[in-house]
Structures are given as C-alpha cells and as structure tokens.
Structure 1
Amino acid sequence: MTEESEAAGGLGPDPLEDLARRLLVEIGEDPDRDGLRDTPARYARWWREFTAYEPGTIETLFETTSSGQMVVVSDIRVWSLCEHHLLPFNCSLTIAYRSAKHLLGLSKFARIAHRHAHALQVQERLVSGIADEVMRITEAPDVAVIGRGEHLCMTMRGIKTSALMTSTAFHGVFEEDSTARSELLALIR
C-alpha cells in the first residue's frame, strides 16, 4: 500500500496507481515485470506533484524607484501539459511591465509562471493568465507576456514535426502603442 492510500485511511489501492496499471495492461505491457513494477507508484507521485505544485510567495513587492521604467524578465522555462492530449509542452516566457507603484521581486516572475504551468493548459491561456496575475499583483496596467513553446502533441503524434508556437498577451501601452511594443520586441531579440 502506498503513502497516498495510507493517507486516505488505507481504504484500498491508490486510484492513480490503479489507472497506471490499467494503462500498462492496455498497451500490452506487464505491470509486474521488473522494469515496470514501481512505475504505477511513480506515475501517481508525479501527477500529484504536478497538480499540487506550490510556488511559494508570489506577491513580494518593493516601492518603485522610477515610475514607468520597463522591466523585462526573459527565458523563463516552464513545462506544462496540453489539455487536449495530456502530453507535455515546454515554453520559454518573457514577462514585461512598466512599473507603476510597485516593483515585483525578481524570483516572483518565475514563481507566477510555474504556478500557471502546473495545470492542464493551452499556451494561449498560460500566457494570458500570467499577464493577468502580474497586472493584479503589481497594479501596473502595462504588461506583456510572450510565450514560445514546443508542444509534444505535435512533435510526437499527428504530423510528427517539431515547431515553435508563439503566443502573446499585450495590455496597456504594449497593446496600444506600437513604439512601446517595438521597444520590447527589440529588447528580447
């Protein structure tokens, strides 16, 4: 019996482990063979770790030193799962904002990105959710998030070709002013 089933009062096998065992049988494998014996427990632990991700504190703010300064954090790498196929995708994120009242602590950008990535996702919602949360925390109306991701649902199945998908969420000056948007895009090239 696993820790998860014991934690549930020892009522029986872990449902995620049972699901993994059934999946192995359905694809023609023997879940009791040496290499697979512990796979159902690992599978269950991984799913719980992924869905129960806790990013820690994300709202550490500092007083701004100069209002309107552009802050850009680039190449934040996250992994998520495509909600259509349950296959992974990795995404490199750039988050930018023009400071208003507050500066967001540097590590908080990655914590926010990972918090949104640890769910069944589509890249467009991932990028939009991150932008909305940065706007909420910083109270800055000028926020941009750019995501470039490779989706294994395209690379491993279907067309079986790798490609990068880019999605954006532009708010405030980044949406309304092509000069500000061009400045941002030039910075991240």
Structure 2
Amino acid sequence: MSTVSGTTDLEPAVTDEGREAADPLEDIARKLLIEIGEDPDRDGLKETPARFARWWREFSSYEAGNVDTMFPLRTQGQIVLIQDIKVWSLCEHHLLPFSCSVTIAYRPHGDVLGLSKFARITQRHAHRLQVQERLVRDIADEITKVTGSSDVAVIATGEHLCMSMRGIRTPAAMTSSVFSGIFEEYGPARQELVATVFQSRK
C-alpha cells in the first residue's frame, strides 16, 4: 500500500502547508454517486461523501477495549450462557450489511469472564469484512483463548442484505454454529444449549 506524507492511501493526507486534505474515501463516494447518475453537488448529497467516509472509518477502527477481565468464582461445572448479542457486520462478497443475533456458551475452568466482554469480543469480530461462518469461528476462538476453556459454543442467526435486497431478493434467516469440548458431542450439554436457544426464539 502506497504512502503519502507518512500516511497510507486510505488515511487523510496532510499537505505541505499542514492542511488536512479531503479523506480519499470522500472521493470514492463522489465517484460512486456520479457513476449511478447522481450529482454529488446537489443540496441533498453535498455532505454525503463526508458522512460516508466518517462511517467507514468508524466501522473499521472499532476498539473493543479490555476483553479479558476475569472474576474469581468457582462454578463447579456450571455452564454460562449469554444470549442475543446483536451485531451488524459487512458481507465481504458484496459490501452489504448483515445483522446477527449471537449466543455464546462456555464452561468456566476456574475464574469467569466479565459479562460485557462477550459483547466486546463479538463486536470486535463483527467490525470487519466478514462471512457469518467465519464470524462464529473467530468469536469462539477468542473466547477459548481468553477464558482458557475448551468448552465453548457459539451460535449465530443472521439476515443478509446481499440476499434480501439483491439477487433473489428474498429475506431468510441463516444459522451457523461452532461447538467444541463438551458441546461437540450430541450429549446433555449440547442438547440443553440448543433447546434453550431455539425455545427462546419461539
């Protein structure tokens, strides 16, 4: 990736006079508007390129903060279940949004992870170009790493605008999942998890 005045070509450049040049993403937005037959200088669109650039910067620069706060609590085999974490991500095939409701379950091996950390981890992996199958895998891998537990399950159900508003133009719900440790086998832990998740959606 080329650089200009010490910045990448996707970052706002700074001129020799110290003025901040327009964000390159604004230029991309202007070109897009022109290509679809719009006038980027008309009243309703004058600020659209700047808004477009700010949104992309905000989405792609999401900071999850601290995600590894643990609390001393001996659960003696208890399963912890966090349901319906709502996130938006972007389909890497069409650059269109998809929304997901994510459920995470794990069996602590010692200390427990702070509740808000599950949402932070989920948001971290959603704030990038994604596919839903990889999203659940990424979340599960980080939960395993942070908690030290190999007993982790992640289930996500999403609606993808790349299907709902283009192509077949039919809304549908897609569910993807990752099961490891005690959830991998079709035993009591997995049966309890799946029953709880799908019962809550009725």
Question: The TM-score by the shorter chain falls in which range?
Answer: over 0.9
* Aligned twin of 1:98: 107
* Aligned twin of 1:179: 188
Structure 1 gap segments, 5+ residues each: none
Match of 1:163 among 172, 175, 187: 172
**CA shift at 1:6, angstroms?**
5.1
**CA shift at 1:157, angstroms?**
0.1
**CA shift at 1:10, angstroms?**
3.5
What is the alpha-carbon distance in structure 1 between the residues aligned to residue 193 and residue 15 of structure 2?
49
* Aligned twin of 1:74: 83
| Structure 1, 67-76 or 8-17: larger mean CA deviation | 8-17
Alpha-carbon deviations, 1:42-63, whole Å to 9, x = none? 0000000000001111111012
Contact 2:12 2:21 in 1 (8 A): no
* TM-score scaled by length of structure 1: 0.94
Alpha-carbon deviations, 1:132-183, whole Å to 9, x = none? 0000000011000000000000000000000000000101010024221101
SS at match of 1:176: coil
* Aligned twin of 2:19: 10
Contact 1:94 1:146 in 2 (8 A): yes
Contact 1:89 1:152 in 2 (8 A): yes
* Aligned twin of 1:36: 45
How do 1:50-129 and structure 2 match up within 5 A?
50-129=59-138
- CA pair 10-67 structure 1, distance change in 2 beyond 3 A: farther
| Structure 1, 34-43 or 56-65: larger mean CA deviation | 56-65
State, as a whole percentage, how many aligned pairs show the same letter. 63
* TM-score scaled by length of structure 2: 0.88
SS at match of 1:157: coil
SS at match of 2:45: coil
* Aligned twin of 1:47: 56
What is the alpha-carbon distance in structure 1 between the residues aligned to residue 114 and residue 42 of structure 2?
49
**CA shift at 1:36, angstroms?**
0.3
The one-letter code of the counterpart of 2:45 is L
**Length, aligned pairs only:** 187
Match of 1:27 among 36, 40, 48: 36
- CA pair 177-68 structure 1, distance change in 2 beyond 3 A: farther
